[in-house]
Chain A
Amino acid sequence: MPTYASPLAAVETSAATHDQPFDADSTLRYLESPARRRLNKVAAVLGVLVYAVYLVYRTLFTINPEALLFSLVVYAAEVHGFFALCFYFFQTWELRGRVVPAPANDLTVDVFVTTYNEDVAILRQTLRSAMAMTYPHTTYVLDDGRRDEVKALADELGCRYISRANNEHAKAGNWNNAFRQTTGQVIATFDADHAPRADFLVRTLGFFRDPKVALVQVPQRYHNLDSPQHRVDWKNRRMYGEQDVFFNLISPGKDNWNAAFFCGTGAVLRREALEPRGGLETGSITEDMHTALALHADGWKSVYLDELLVTGLAPMDFASLQVQRLRWAEGNLKIIRAINPLTEPGLTLPQRICYAGSMYHWTTGVAKLVFYFAPPWILFTGQYPIANFRPTFVFIYGALLLSLSVSYKVLSRGQGRLLMDELFNMATAFTLARAVKRLLVGRRRPSIFVVTRKGTSTTRDLTVALPFLGLVAFSLLGIEWCVLMLRFDVADDFFGLGLAMFWTVWNLWMMLAVIEIALRPPQRREACRFVTACPVTMQGTSPGGAPDTGMTANLSPTGCELLWLGPLPVGSRWSLSVALGAQTFECKGEITTTYHRRRGPWFVHGVRFLDLTNEQTDVLNDALLNMVVPRLFGDLSQPSQTVHLWRRIVKRVTDRYIARPRRSFINVPVQVTTGPATVLALLHDVSTNGFGVVMPRAVPPGTRMKVTVLGAQPWSVNVTVARSQPLPASLPAFQTWLVGLQVEAHVDASEVHRRMSEEVAA
């Protein structure tokens, strides 16, 4: 299953016409074969059973009376893990996607973009994207910061500006203030940094033909892939996003139980459902889940549409991430004071379980901290939480770990990454534990809504790393104490202490990874940088004065990293033309840095765009959000390591019988000539019998073309188009096609492959 593309994107037909009665449940489709679904269920049941048997064994034989308190604390943490597993398996029991129905023609739609103190440049793009959505609608900017520049922006762009005298109830209060002043039947809502795609409304409004649907939520994707919550393996084209499990697995799983909830942005809500409560719930600082819970209790339906329809900015530093998670955890836990999902009338049993599971998730930090502190505690004291800490226990525990890993992998449908999930569990453990403390013993001040900082961060808040540094110190000292105890015969249980030491070292390794994230230098760039290869031409760089061609390695609204055949002087200024799909973006740029790659003829240059007008910035932003981002998420949708490994094994076996050309991904600018027309394109991949180029237009199969590779020594090859497929793009202006080309019969294909491989720029 691809990670970031909707599995049902291509199946968007609906039998119902607009005026017919319509049940949104009829749009649910199973995403897996019956055999795979059975396997999921067997794995889930077995995983839970093995854990249950383990807990029974622990209860009967391993509670240590010599260290009773310690033993019970660790036991409680394990019981916590059991319930967390049950909630996870319940929520991912069945994954169902949605077939997208066409929207009715007569809906009145309001679009709310909430803002408080976000950068106006970020807000500008969000508003422009919101206004560019294709279904008729009215866009409102809800400014709780009461800023003149936001009002001026709204006037410039032609959207409506709403503000209020105070900031009561923060975002929810801001939203409700606009809710009272508007009349749209449905309201699409976005945070200031979440830019929707043009087809957002068209893809989501159809579900409101079911009069019981109150909410349609789409996943939140973050395009700043250098944020602390992302890990990108560019070589293998794989990406880990800390919230992927929630948006790729848990949310579709909740949708199966009609329990998908509002996530605050990238959602559409029905006014009629919210009117009785005057808009969003204001009883907690996480108005989104609170509101969804209330709506479900009132009998309304929700829909989760797993498509890339909106992207935003994730917190750019570790401190902001912790602030965000603390707010989420504290808010979601405190909802229980207003509505208890286990007792609230009107909810179905699966909905109760799903909401309880969502709240329970935020208590994970406490259990995790027990597991992080327990091993060094053993090393210090020589006391074990397990009585009879012998090979029999280790064997049983090993069986539990194996069963958990396998069942988690199966239920995660190839997307779960245990190590990374554990890493981020550790990264947020202290924060989540703090939220639990606030729930149980309260806090001195009332809970407040703290806006997550996005974009540039100039300072580094090192205090967030302190708890982890403390834990590292505690673990290191525990190891030292244990070594001393073994060295001087204070203790002689090499087996037990050895295991505790292994466990400590394992946690230490993860702690160091978390500290590495926490201590990253602050993000000083003015704008988010996107890895993308686009052909660039510049005038006057060669003696003849002819335009020369290079390509970008990455691009942002303020500059790019330029790959060029030869050095360009730092400080020099050039006129650049960047090919953005079928559009050409022209501007002046100044070389700020330059260096030569170790291999190949390409020089890497930092370029700052000069004197950009708002219109130029808008074009760049449009290209980034509508061409680069969809392509990035498409490219990085690679399977988990396990699935990847399995496919490699299968491929190895099948390759013995089926000779397949090997393909490698290479970016070099090329010139494609078809008859009299010449276009600039980009080499995308090369194999031993052909290659692929990214072109700004489709070319019918069978077309003969000449491709000139614009490397150190330009050279040409005649080819025939084998296929042409559109690459993901959300605006037609930025549509590109991946054109598969076959070298002509008389040309030595392996020689072409070799020469192209030598030209590699990126």
Chain B
Amino acid sequence: MLPRFILLVAILAVLELAAFDWRYRDLVYLSRPASVLDHASTGDFRTFADLALARPALTRAKLEVIAQTAAARHDDMVLFPALRRLANEYPADAGINLRLAEALRAVGHIEEADGYYRRALAASGGKP
């Protein structure tokens, strides 16, 4: 009985792996090393990043990965949604606000960038 049970649990564990991969394939994809993601096809990266960003709950680490990879790939279509979500979820984080402000300024959104500079200043207690 025990060997059959162990076999059954092993099969279930493999099926669970498959189910996890199906359920979270975007997050699994985004867990690849940075060097791999940096050279992945733009279509794949955008698809999985968009899927991930559409999730109601996303960990900070995963948002950071998306934002950093998008920045490295100069993919503003992904970078801004990722940074905006980070800034919304962690408004007290000066660094995030500053990064978003810098990114916005770089593409000429000065007015919006100014707002995030102010939020970064407020988050850092007024110390530049």
Contacts and interface: CB of A to CB of B under 8 A. Distances in A.
B31 A487 contact: yes
A472 B59 CA distance: 29
A480 B13 contact: yes
A375 to B, nearest CB: 17
Contact of B61 (A473, A480, A481, A489): A489
Contacts of B13: 476-477, 480
Interface string B83-116: 0000000000000000000000000000000000
A489 B1 contact: no
A473 B12 contact: yes
Nearest to B28: A488
A394 interface: no
A356 to B, nearest CB: 40
Contact of A492 (B17, B28, B60): B60
B59 A492 contact: yes
Interface in B33-89: 59-62, 65
A480 B20 CA distance: 10
A519 interface: yes
Contacts of A487: 31
A490 B62 CA distance: 8
Interface in A480-496: 480-481, 484, 487-492
Interface residues of A, number: 17
A221 B85 CA distance: 67
B9 A484 contact: no
Interface in A452-498: 462, 465, 469, 472-473, 476-477, 480-481, 484, 487-492
Interface residues of B, number: 20
Contacts of B24: 484, 488, 490
Contacts of A465: 1
A488 B5 CA distance: 28
B16 A488 contact: no
Contacts of B20: 481, 484, 488
The CB with the most chain B CB atoms within 10 A, among A481, A489, A492, A519, is that of A489
Given A484-B17, A491-B59, A476 B9 contact: yes
A492 B61 contact: yes
A477 B62 contact: no
Contacts of B5: 469, 473
A379 to B, nearest CB: 12
A484 B25 CA distance: 12
B27 interface: yes
Nearest to B25: A488
Contact of A489 (B2, B12, B31): B31
A489 B20 CA distance: 12
B27 A481 contact: no
Nearest to B20: A484
B31 A481 contact: no
Nearest to A491: B59
B32 to A, nearest CB: 10
A484 B28 CA distance: 9
Contacts of A489: 27, 30-31, 59, 61-62, 65
Interface in B6-29: 8-9, 12-13, 16-17, 20, 24, 27-28
A488 B120 CA distance: 30
B123 to A, nearest CB: 21
Interface in A498-545: 519
B8 A462 contact: no
Contacts of B65: 489
Contacts of B9: 472-473, 476-477
A465 B2 CA distance: 10
B28 to A, nearest CB: 5
Contact of A477 (B2, B12, B30, B60): B12
Contacts of B1: 462, 465, 519
A490 B58 CA distance: 7
A331 B28 CA distance: 53
Contacts of A462: 1
A519 B17 contact: no
Given A489-B61, A492-B61, A481 B16 contact: yes
Interface of B: 1-2, 5, 8-9, 12-13, 16-17, 20, 24, 27-28, 30-31, 59-62, 65
17 contacts: A473-B8, A473-B9, A473-B12, A476-B13, A477-B12, A480-B17, A488-B20, A488-B24, A488-B27, A488-B28, A489-B30, A490-B24, A490-B59, A491-B59, A492-B59, A492-B61, A519-B2
